[in-house]
């Protein structure tokens, strides 16, 4: 691994942090997702403390009440009052801090002489920096035993850390306050950042000088010094901008080279054939296609007819009829003698897809069986749990080309599957794959299959451009006619227990009308870490109580695959009235007879997740009811999220709300938000300008250096590719 890096700078950056800071501190860093020297350098102070700045304690108090405050905080404040309590030898020192906007209580425990010593230090005139874990005492936040220093006219005095802090302060006029953890107080992080800077000092910047000039950013080492040990706010900001630009440049330059590569890729051109499978399918379709379905289909047909591989993202609401559109493209390929693959993110979904594709095709998907129409092809399903014997048979039919349509989980990509002639790969609900991975399946030399990625998670344009700069985007915004209304209500389960009772009654009424309901919980079992109701408890409680006498089933990810499939089948067939489930039913499940959904502890879910969940109902002609049960109080951000979901069914509106609330590119999935560092600072909404600038510079880089000879640029590209690979491994 070490020798993939061409420049001394990247070699130094990619070294494990433990080499600098030792195993113990290294472990503590790892808990924050920080593994390499690069990660340490990119872990930036959240606040800069200068001579004029104070921490806003009233804000801290607000955040605490909303449940959004950090666990570990560093505050700048004065001592307002102080008193000793308790009986010797164990005493308690209770301190109240203030910064003029609010107050915070601090407690120290210890023997008399120790407590006296703390009290003396805390009596010094001047403000202090207090850093520690925020805990809860009688419903108020407090700091127990924080590390602290007091800023006096003679310098910083205080507990053991004071010397270290003093050094930091004398070196620059600002102290950075970092997001910290129990084992990593802010001053330790600051010291490690300095070690990391020394580690890369004097190494040449990997970003070409002309790029830095045109982008007007400082060099890398200067940027690191500027963010961690700044002498002014402007300097800090300039350093930050370079580190942000670094990320934009890395992704854009990687994409620019991919685009160049893609220009060399060839694909088989599939033109529409009349009188084939597609025409037969269209003839049997029980409904007319919507205008948008027709328009998007035409885009796909045009793409497929080219010798350049299609790279298209199809986004559309749940139930907007994407699958039908994708299937028409797949049939075009089969008509031309090729094969098409449909990849689903989970086993349950792959099975559902197989069932609905088979249902839509009827005997057109029955293969070369007696009495089947001559155009018929074979639809096969291949997942991780396909038994070995059956698997061999399926693989044979794929290799011989008998199977025109292959449906499976992403696990398909991991194994070697031989195709006779793979023409099209459709990837459902999984937009995180790098192009390399999407292309891996069925590629032979320069010859690649066409690729269509489908998603019901609406992706704001800015995000699409940053991350999918190499994909064309098609969008379906209208739902097929005759789709029923779904009304959504937020139910405060603490203030209105009677409404919760009423909800279960309503479920029973729906069942009496022959309709079905979902009950969704955030958790599987009682012992799981996550908060909120568990599916097992809820199932037991409802079937013994409010829903006794109804046919209730349970579905979650830990059930064996065949049991999951069986429960889903029974629910789809109307053999169950109620399905108590986790988010396993999130995407793609299609039961038009389901009219009601009750989401327990709805605050545990994100906006897009709730939107996806709600998409499971109102898919038929009967109006739907969605109840979001919550104990989140009005005015909290969790409650705001639920109200937003209740106010609209427009996924694009909700995705903007979601993004604005998080201010993060987290829509891309969790690996971008946490863990990996490469896209840690870049926020697609805030940095649209720098992203556009990076994109145009990346084009110039490729023009000047089409063979990717520049070792620095090469390192940037490698870094992004490793990130994509990390996501890839996480997703499969």
Query: Which CB, 297 or 466, lies closer to ligand ADP?
Result: 297
| d(C-alpha 278, C-alpha 639), whole Å | 47
**Where in 228-287 is the site for ligand ADP (CB under 6 A)?**
287
| d(C-alpha 663, C-alpha 74), whole Å | 23
Tokens of 470: 């190499």
588 is a contact residue toward Mg ion (CB under 5 A): yes
Return the residue matching tokens 């405060």.
Answer: 492
Query: Which CB, 162 or 655, lies closer to Mg ion?
Result: 655
320 is a contact residue toward Mg ion (CB under 5 A): no
Residue from 323, 377, 386, 678 that binds Mg ion (CB under 5 A)?
323
- Residue 316 bridge partners (DSSP): 476
- Residue 488 bridge partners (DSSP): 626
Q: Which does 189 bind (CB under 5 to 8 A by kind): ligand ADP, Mg ion, none?
A: none
Query: Which CB, 196 or 349, lies closer to Mg ion?
Result: 349
| d(C-alpha 193, C-alpha 187), whole Å | 10
Over the Cα atoms of the chain, what is R_g?
29
Tokens of 99: 């910064």
Return the residue matching tokens 């402007």.
Answer: 234
Q: Mapping DSSP to helix (H, G, I), strand (E, B) and coil, where does residue 36 land?
A: strand
320 is a contact residue toward ligand ADP (CB under 6 A): yes
Please state the three-class secondary structure of 409-468 as a single string: ECHHHHCCCCCCCEEEEEEECCCCCCHHHHHHCCCECCECCEEEEEECCCCCHHHHHHHC
Give the interface size with ligand ADP as a residue count (CB under 6 A): 15
Query: Which CB, 206 or 277, lies closer to ligand ADP?
Result: 277
Question: φ and ψ at 78, to 5 degrees?
Answer: -105, 160
Nearest to 552 by CA among 508, 611, 593, 495: 508
Task: With beta carbons less than 8 A apart as the criterion, state whether 407 and 428 touch.
Answer: no
324 is a contact residue toward ligand ADP (CB under 6 A): yes
430 is a contact residue toward ligand ADP (CB under 6 A): no
321 is a contact residue toward ligand ADP (CB under 6 A): yes
Residue 395, CB half-sphere, CA atoms under 13 Å: how many?
A: 14
Residue from 55, 190, 252, 290 that binds ligand ADP (CB under 6 A)?
290
Please state the three-class secondary structure of 99-139 as a single string: CCCCEEEEEEEEEHHHHHHHHHHHCCCCCEEEEEEEEEECC
Query: Which CB, 458 or 712, lies closer to Mg ion?
Result: 458
Angle between helices 186-200 and 220-228 (to 10 degrees): 160
Stretch that binds Mg ion, among 250-258, 407-415, 588-596, 649-657 (CB under 5 A): 588-596
Question: φ and ψ at 730, to 5 degrees?
Answer: -65, -35
- As measured in angstroms, the least distance from the Cβ of 649 to ligand ADP is 14
- As measured in angstroms, the least distance from the Cβ of 489 to ligand ADP is 24
- As measured in angstroms, the least distance from the Cβ of 324 to ligand ADP is 5
Stretch that binds Mg ion, among 17-25, 320-328, 519-527, 570-578 (CB under 5 A): 320-328
DSSP state string for 641-671: HHHHHHH---HHHHHHHHHHHHTSGGGG-HH
460 is a contact residue toward Mg ion (CB under 5 A): no
Query: Which CB, 299 or 686, lies closer to ligand ADP?
Result: 299
**Where in 75-104 is the site for Mg ion (CB under 5 A)?**
none
289 is a contact residue toward ligand ADP (CB under 6 A): yes
Stretch that binds Mg ion, among 96-104, 155-163, 317-325, 474-482 (CB under 5 A): 317-325
- As measured in angstroms, the least distance from the Cβ of 231 to Mg ion is 55
Residue from 121, 318, 334, 567 that binds ligand ADP (CB under 6 A)?
318
Please state the three-class secondary structure of 472-495 as a single string: EEEEECCCCCCCCCEEEEEEECCC
- As measured in angstroms, the least distance from the Cβ of 320 to ligand ADP is 4
- Segment (H or E) for 76: strand 72-85
Tokens of 320: 């907007």
- As measured in angstroms, the least distance from the Cβ of 228 to Mg ion is 47
Sign of dihedral through CA atoms 192, 202, 236, 216?
negative
595 is a contact residue toward ligand ADP (CB under 6 A): no
Q: Which does 319 bind (CB under 5 to 8 A by kind): ligand ADP, Mg ion, none?
A: ligand ADP
- As measured in angstroms, the least distance from the Cβ of 553 to ligand ADP is 21
Stretch that binds Mg ion, among 316-324, 470-478, 513-521, 680-688 (CB under 5 A): 316-324
Sign of dihedral through CA atoms 163, 168, 174, 175?
negative
Task: With beta carbons less than 8 A apart as the criterion, state whether 266 and 444 touch.
Answer: no
Query: Which CB, 355 or 417, lies closer to ligand ADP?
Result: 355
Stretch that binds Mg ion, among 282-290, 402-410, 583-591, 664-672 (CB under 5 A): 583-591
Stretch that binds ligand ADP, among 316-324, 393-401, 605-613, 630-638 (CB under 6 A): 316-324
| d(C-alpha 72, C-alpha 62), whole Å | 16
210 is a contact residue toward ligand ADP (CB under 6 A): no
| d(C-alpha 434, C-alpha 417), whole Å | 20
Nearest to 412 by CA among 402, 400, 401, 426: 426
Stretch that binds ligand ADP, among 83-91, 319-327, 503-511, 653-661 (CB under 6 A): 319-327
- As measured in angstroms, the least distance from the Cβ of 188 to ligand ADP is 50
- As measured in angstroms, the least distance from the Cβ of 346 to Mg ion is 12
Q: Mapping DSSP to helix (H, G, I), strand (E, B) and coil, where does residue 691 land?
A: helix
Residue from 337, 480, 574, 675 that binds ligand ADP (CB under 6 A)?
480
Query: Which CB, 316 or 404, lies closer to ligand ADP?
Result: 316
Q: Which does 321 bind (CB under 5 to 8 A by kind): ligand ADP, Mg ion, none?
A: ligand ADP
Kindly list the distances between the CA atom of residue 645 and the CA atoms of 240, 488, 532, 657, 729, in Å, as whole numbers in the listed order. Answer: 35, 8, 19, 9, 32
Work out the number of other CB atoms within 10 angstroms of the CB of residue 246: 25
323 is a contact residue toward ligand ADP (CB under 6 A): yes
Q: Is 39 left (phi over 0), alpha (psi -120 to 50) or beta?
A: alpha
Question: φ and ψ at 270, to 5 degrees?
Answer: -110, 115
342 is a contact residue toward ligand ADP (CB under 6 A): no
Kindly list the distances between the CA atom of residue 404 and the CA atoms of 147, 162, 390, 423, 424, in Å, as whole numbers in the listed order. Answer: 67, 71, 17, 10, 11
Query: Which CB, 434 or 588, lies closer to Mg ion?
Result: 588
Query: Which CB, 319 or 665, lies closer to ligand ADP?
Result: 319
- As measured in angstroms, the least distance from the Cβ of 331 to Mg ion is 17
Tokens of 481: 């006619």
Stretch that binds ligand ADP, among 113-121, 195-203, 312-320, 536-544 (CB under 6 A): 312-320
Question: φ and ψ at 7, to 5 degrees?
Answer: -100, 145
Query: Which CB, 248 or 456, lies closer to ligand ADP?
Result: 456
- As measured in angstroms, the least distance from the Cβ of 717 to ligand ADP is 35
295 is a contact residue toward ligand ADP (CB under 6 A): no
Query: Which CB, 253 or 277, lies closer to ligand ADP?
Result: 277
651 is a contact residue toward Mg ion (CB under 5 A): no
Residues at the site binding ligand ADP, with contacts judged by CB under 6 A: 287, 289-290, 293, 316, 318-324, 456, 480, 590
Residues at the site binding Mg ion, with contacts judged by CB under 5 A: 323, 588
């Amino acid at each position: 691994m070490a020798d993939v890096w061409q420049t001394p700078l990247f070699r130094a950056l990619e070294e494990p942090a433990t080499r600098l800071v030792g195993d113990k501190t290294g472990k503590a860093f790892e808990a924050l997702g920080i593994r390499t020297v690069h990660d340490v350098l990119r872990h930036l102070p959240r606040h800069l403390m200068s001579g004029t700045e104070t921490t806003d304690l009233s804000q801290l108090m607000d955040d605490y009440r909303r449940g959004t405050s950090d666990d570990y905080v560093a505050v700048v404040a004065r001592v307002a009052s102080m008193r000793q309590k308790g009986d010797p030898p164990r005493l308690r020192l209770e301190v109240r801090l203030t910064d003029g906007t609010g107050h915070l209580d601090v407690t120290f425990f210890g023997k008399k002489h120790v407590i006296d010593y703390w009290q003396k230090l805390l009596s010094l005139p001047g403000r202090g920096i207090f850093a520690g874990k925020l805990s809860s005492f009688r419903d108020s936040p407090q700091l127990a035993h924080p590390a602290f220093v007091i800023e006096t006219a003679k310098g910083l005095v205080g507990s053991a850390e004071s010397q270290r802090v003093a050094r930091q302060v004398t070196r620059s006029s600002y102290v950075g306050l970092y997001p910290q953890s129990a084992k990593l107080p802010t001053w330790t992080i600051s010291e490690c950042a300095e070690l990391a800077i020394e580690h890369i000092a004097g190494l040449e910047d990997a970003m070409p000088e002309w790029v830095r000039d045109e982008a007007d950013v400082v060099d890398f080492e200067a940027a690191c010094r500027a963010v961690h040990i700044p002498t002014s706010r402007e300097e800090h900001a300039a350093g930050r901008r370079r580190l942000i630009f670094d990320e934009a440049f890395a992704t854009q330059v990687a994409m620019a080279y991919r685009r160049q590569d893609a220009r060399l890729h060839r694909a088989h051109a599939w033109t529409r054939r009349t009188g084939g499978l597609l025409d037969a399918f269209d003839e049997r379709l029980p409904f007319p296609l919507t205008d948008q379905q027709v328009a998007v289909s035409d885009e796909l047909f045009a793409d497929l007819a080219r010798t350049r591989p299609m790279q298209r993202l199809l986004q559309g609401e749940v139930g907007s009829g994407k699958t039908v559109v994708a299937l028409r493209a797949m049939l075009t390929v089969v008509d031309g003698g090729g094969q098409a693959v449909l990849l689903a993110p989970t086993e349950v979904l792959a099975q559902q897809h197989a069932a609905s594709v088979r249902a839509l095709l009827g005997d057109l998907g029955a293969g070369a069986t007696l009495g089947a129409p001559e155009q018929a092809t074979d639809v096969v399903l291949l997942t991780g749990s396909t038994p070995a014997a059956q698997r061999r048979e399926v693989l044979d039919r794929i290799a011989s080309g008998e199977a025109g349509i292959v449906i499976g989980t992403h696990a398909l990509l991991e194994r070697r599957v031989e195709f006779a002639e793979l023409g099209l790969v459709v990837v459902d609900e999984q937009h995180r794959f790098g192009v390399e991975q999407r292309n891996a399946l069925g590629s032979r030399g320069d010859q690649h299959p066409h690729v269509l990625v489908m998603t019901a998670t609406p992706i704001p344009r800015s995000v699409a451009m940053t991350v999918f700069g190499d994909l064309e985007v098609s969008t379906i915004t209208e739902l097929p006619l005759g789709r029923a209304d779904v009304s959504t209500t937020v139910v405060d389960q603490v203030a209105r227990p009677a409404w919760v009772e009423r909800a279960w009654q309503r479920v029973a009424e729906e069942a009496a009308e022959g309709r079905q309901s979902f009950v969704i919980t955030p958790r599987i079992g009682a012992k799981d870490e996550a908060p909120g109701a568990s599916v097992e408890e809820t199932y037991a409680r409802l079937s013994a109580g409010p829903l006794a006498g109804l046919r209730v089933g349970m579905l979650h990810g830990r059930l064996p695959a065949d049991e999951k499939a069986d429960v889903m089948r029974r629910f789809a067939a109307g053999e169950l009235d109620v399905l108590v489930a986790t988010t396993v039913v999130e995407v793609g499940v299609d039961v038009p007879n389901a009219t009601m959904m009750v989401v327990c502890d709805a605050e545990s879910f994100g906006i897009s997740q709730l939107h996806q969940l709600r998409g499971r109902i109102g898919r038929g002609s009967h109006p739907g009811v969605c109840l979001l049960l919550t104990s989140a109080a009005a005015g909290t951000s969790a409650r705001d999220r639920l109200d937003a979901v209740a106010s609209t069914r427009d996924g694009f509106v909700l995705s903007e709300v979601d993004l604005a609330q998080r201010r993060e590119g987290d829509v891309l999935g969790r690996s971008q938000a946490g863990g990996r560092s490469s896209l840690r600072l870049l926020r697609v909404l805030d940095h649209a300008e720098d992203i556009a600038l990076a994109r145009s510079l990346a084009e110039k880089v490729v023009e000047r250096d089409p063979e990717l000879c520049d070792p620095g640029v090469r390192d940037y590209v490698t870094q992004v590719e490793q990130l994509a690979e990390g996501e890839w491994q996480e997703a499969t």
